[in-house]
Chains A and B, each alone.
Chain A
Amino acid sequence: MAAKIDRRSFLKISSMAGGGLLLGLCSRSGAVALAADTPVTPTALRNAAGEFIPNLFIRIAPGGQVTLISKQPEIGQGVKTSLPMILAEELEVDWKDVTVEQADLDPALGGQAAGGSTATPRNYEKFRVLGATARTMLVSAAAATWGVAESACEAVLGSVVHRPSGRRLGYGELVGAASLLPVPDTATVRLKDPATFKLLGTRVGGVDNAAIVTGRPLFGLDVDLPGMLYAAYTRCPVFGGKVTGANLDEVRKLPGVRAAFVVEGGAEVTTLTEGVAIVADSTWAAFSARKTLKVTWEEGPAAAQSWNTFADQARKEATVAATGAKVLRSDGDEEAAFAAGARRIAAEYRYPFLGHATLEPQNCTAHWRGDRLEIWAPTQNSGMGRALAAKAVGLPIENIRVHIRRSGGGFGRRLGNDYLVEVAVIAKRFDVPVKLTWSREDDMQHDHFRAGGLHFLRAALDEQGRVIAWRNRFFSFGYGGKPADGAELGPDEFPARWVPNCRIEQTIFDTGFPMGSWRAPGANVFAWVIQGFVDELAHAAGRDPVEFRLGLLGDGDVKASTVDKKPDYSVARMRTLLRFVAEKAAWTGKALPRGRGRGVAFHFSYLGYCAQVVDVTVSRDGGLKVDRVVVACDVGAQIVNLSGAENQVQGSVNDGLSALLGQEIDIVNGRVPQGNFHEYPLLRMPDAPRKIEVHFLRTDFPTTGLGEPALPPLAPAVCNAIFAATGHRVRRWPLSRTNLQWS
């Protein structure tokens, strides 16, 4: 007879058994469907299927199969493979016996957002402890079974072995005994010596690869539920516009259309955009009906806003000490130092708005069941999505269940949950599930864009070529004077803290444009600007770009952060890494034949140190070819999954190049003219570098993430290489705006 216990008593038992709630060391109640005929009485650490469940992330079946739970959303960063690998390593199981299960949104699991390359640094040590705790219990269970000392037993790939006698019990055989033990105090659990790791640091293929290559349903867009309807949603082309009229009656008569109605927008442009929903029997019926739909809009204030107008305004304001500017930093006397400089250099760098263009367009499925809502979402932040949906449909968050689906790319786009909120509101009108699919044009024109920006830089060098003055007048976008995500230039941005006379000013234009994080927010533009301008200084000083950078970094060990909760900058790590990449790239400092060039750049972001050397060839008519990219990363002591790590770095290089070459979202009168990939080119295989060499420098520092840090140095390294090849200094993004011809 299977006894059912509810979640509350379950949590009580498990917290009595082991405490450790903070570490997730409590067992999940309904973690497994309770089979009525399973002859197991569930205990705190055993479910009705007979599985040993030492914590929320591990289940071991009597047959020895191991199920590990992936709590983070998989967006292509490889986390569904890498985090369970950490558990498996310390648990000491054979990876081939492991099945990984994607968790739903569940606050008991801890943070489940994917962003800022945080999954590894936040979970690495914690997951080691979780795995080691379970292993310790299995060893204790075996020792008790045999009546021998635990110290004479050891775990070996899914079994416990009694060394003196050679006796062996598989984990599956130990689940009953182990589940009766108290969960040990985490402080007493012994972690493995990393030198003995068997799995971490090896190449492990993604756990969903077999499903991906055979086309099995995985992604948000692949959700298929009985009786499901299909929705399309038409938003005002101008951000924040309101509906004043629509030919809904005409649309409702179209084939396959079940409903057409106006959805009222919310106050925030990134949460719920006002528009017209069409719900139909198929995606195509909904898409087709949009061709008949005619909406009249009240366009609102954003219709008077254009990127170029703001850029012109910034250029005007940059020539004076802008009154609206916030001084982020003022060290020494920049004005006087600049005036006294032996060499003075000034430059304007400008980058556009960018879209994310995840290959899977935004989509989401929701089923309204009276007082509950069930959502299937490809999202990077399901917790935020649930909170926003709860507010929009008027339900307590407890009544909303979110299933996290694999995302066909994230890059920061799916930190916004506007599509999730849209479908929640739409589905509330139906008693069957509704899947909302954005068209590519919806996706491109209603993205949460990387904010464009302009930097007006000037610097002075002394007689010895040292940087004695640095000023950055920075203009970007935000809401209510607050920078958008990724438009926040910190007061510590390199080379602040190194240059004695340093001034950083920031002006934020308020707009109605939807903006948000784009892979390596902030870093993806600031690295381009700063490593480009530093290169200009190196050239002005007549110094080798690597040597000049080493000189600028100097001999110090650490530059302490002056901003709360921001990491210190390890000068020693970056210096070592820069030398390392120069060595790997065989940097000689010698000029190459005209038309060929080599550039270098480095950047510290999202806890990762990265430096790159790029070789380019530029033809006389300006055709660019990136011949080789050498990447060096210091992300601490341990690479979790070598295959995934290299894939992330190579992908970051291609992503960085893709964005730099030709991408630009041009906002004109509050609307985006680009609609599809012919107007917003993504890198294609013939243009992708054939050589991307990835080198990881292992250090004693904590293990950190790789979703972002390898992206920022790419764009400046390419532009610096172009300068070396042609003498053209690229100060405007995208590259397609600069003529690279030379003679």
Chain B
Amino acid sequence: MSTFHLKINGQARSVEAGPDTPLLWILRDALKLPGTKYGCGVGQCGACTVHVAGSPARACLLPVAAVGGMEVTTIEGLDAEGRHPLQLAWCELDVPQCGYCQPGQLMTAAALLRNTPAPTESDIDEAMAGNLCRCGTYLRIRAGIKRAVELAAPKSPERA
């Protein structure tokens, strides 16, 4: 067991853990941030997607020792008020069914929009291909991304 000093959603957090403990379980069990989901443990489903130093990462594959002082953003920290354009679009279009995959979908989509504020269909396909939705809400996820682009465009494109 070692002590790790992490930066999670803008806050300094310290945890005692074995160095190989995946960030996923640090977030869920130690830091009580359950928005990041466990789906497969092998980077196949994307339910555990978080941002590490601004890039999407699979928290189930990332040992806590490898995180260091890099800024980690989880679904809980995507937007301080929960009003990221994607979150607004997801509610407006009623995207979720069971909802379990949606935090991961949102985090992947948020990373896409940050780098590509006006994605093409194939940009969306490429970015989202690693996130499974067992309920099959893909049409609405696609529509939600497009709607978020619209919501973000007039006022604060940099937020996306």
Contact = CB atoms under 8 A, between A and B. Distances in A.
B136 A361 contact: no
Contacts of A221: 34, 37-38
A407 B29 CA distance: 19
Contact of B42 (A284, A360, A647, A678): A678
A686 B97 contact: no
B99 interface: yes
Given A221-B34, A230-B29, A284-B29, A651 B137 contact: yes
Given A205-B94, A255-B18, A359 B136 contact: no
A359 B97 contact: no
Nearest to B26: A284
B45 A359 contact: yes
A282 B25 contact: yes
Contacts of A411: 134
Interface in B117-150: 121, 124-126, 128-142
A643 B130 CA distance: 26
Given A215-B103, A408-B37, A685-B124, A283 B25 contact: yes
A411 B28 CA distance: 25
Interface in A210-233: 210, 212-219, 221-222, 224, 230
Given A360-B39, A361-B38, A685 B90 contact: no
Given A282-B30, A651-B97, A76 B135 contact: yes
A125 B21 CA distance: 52
B157 interface: no
Contact of A677 (B18, B87, B126, B132): B132
B129 A359 contact: no
B139 A650 contact: yes
B63 to A, nearest CB: 10
A594 B40 CA distance: 40
13 contacts: A209-B94, A209-B95, A215-B76, A217-B34, A224-B32, A406-B99, A408-B98, A644-B94, A676-B41, A677-B40, A677-B42, A686-B125, A686-B126
B106 interface: yes
Interface in A685-731: 685-686, 688-690, 692
B126 to A, nearest CB: 8
A684 interface: yes
A645 to B, nearest CB: 11
A440 B100 CA distance: 14
Nearest to B97: A76
A689 B136 CA distance: 10
Determine chain B's interface SS by DSSP, over half rule: loop
Listed residue (A74, A215, A288, A652) with the most chain B CB atoms within 10 angstroms of its CB:
A215
Given A210-B91, A647-B137, 18 more contacts: A75-B98, A76-B135, A208-B99, A209-B96, A212-B96, A218-B99, A221-B34, A255-B18, A282-B17, A408-B37, A437-B38, A644-B94, A647-B94, A651-B137, A655-B135, A677-B44, A684-B132, A688-B139
B136 A651 contact: yes
Interface residues of B, number: 64
A222 B25 CA distance: 12
A330 interface: no
A20 interface: no
Contacts of A74: 98
Contacts of A614: none
Given A215-B76, A650-B139, A678 B39 contact: no
A208 B102 CA distance: 12
A283 B29 contact: yes
Contacts of A406: 98-99
Contacts of A204: 94
Given A76-B135, A255-B18, A677-B132, A685 B141 contact: yes
Interface in A68-120: 74-78
Nearest to A641: B94
A682 interface: yes
A685 B106 contact: no
Contacts of A361: 38-39
A213 B44 contact: no
Contacts, number: 194
B45 A651 contact: no
B128 to A, nearest CB: 5
Contacts of B106: 213
A100 B91 CA distance: 16
Contacts of A658: 136
A410 B129 CA distance: 23
A432 interface: no
B1 interface: yes
Nearest to A215: B35
A341 interface: no
A676 B94 contact: no
Contacts of A360: 37, 39, 98, 100
A663 B17 CA distance: 38
B94 A654 contact: no
Contacts of B76: 214-215
Interface string A636-659: 000000011001101111110010
A224 B29 CA distance: 8
A678 to B, nearest CB: 6
B37 A439 contact: no
Nearest to A216: B35
B94 A206 contact: yes
Given A651-B97, A688-B139, A209 B132 contact: no
A215 B100 contact: no
A216 B17 CA distance: 24
Contact of B91 (A75, A205, A219): A205
Give me the 3 closest cross-chain CB pairs, A-B, nearest first. Answer: A215-B35, A654-B136, A76-B98
A221 B35 CA distance: 10
Interface string B1-30: 100000000000000011011100100111
B38 A213 contact: no
B75 interface: yes
A284 B25 contact: yes
A217 B99 CA distance: 11
Contacts of A685: 124-125, 128-129, 131, 133, 138, 141-142
Contacts of B42: 440, 676-678
A437 B24 CA distance: 14
Listed residue (A230, A361, A651, A653) with the most chain B CB atoms within 10 angstroms of its CB:
A651
B134 A222 contact: no
